[in-house]
Amino acid sequence: MFSTSAHYRYCGIWLCAAAIAVLCTVIGVNWAKTSQQRLQVARVLTGGGDPSRAPPIFRRYGCTGCHQIPGIAGADGQVGGALSGLQKRVYIAGVVNNTGDNLVHWIVSPQDFSPNSAMPKTGISQAEARDLAAYLYTH
Predicted confidence (pLDDT) per residue in 58-112, tens digit: 999 999 999 999 998 888 888 888 898 888 889 998 889 999 999 999 999 999 9
Instruction: Look up the CATH number of domain 4-138.
Output: 1.10.760.10
pLDDT of residue 66: 93
Q: What is the rounded end-to-end Cα distance, in angstroms, of the chain?
A: 53
pLDDT of residue 23: 42
Residue 60 and residue 29: Cα distance in Å, rounded?
34
Helices (H), the chain: 4-45, 54-60, 63-66, 100-108, 126-138
User: pTM to 2 decimals?
Assistant: 0.72
Question: Nearest-5° angle of CA 51, CA 55, CA 58?
Answer: 110
Residue 7 and residue 109: Cα distance in Å, rounded?
69
- pLDDT band for position 48 (50/70/90)? confident
Residue 58 and residue 84: Cα distance in Å, rounded?
14
What is the mean pLDDT of the segment spanning 7-18? 58
What is the mean pLDDT of the segment spanning 14-19? 54
- pLDDT band for position 115 (50/70/90)? very high
Q: Determine what percent of the chain is predicted with pLDDT higher than 70.
A: 76
Residue 28 and residue 10: Cα distance in Å, rounded?
27
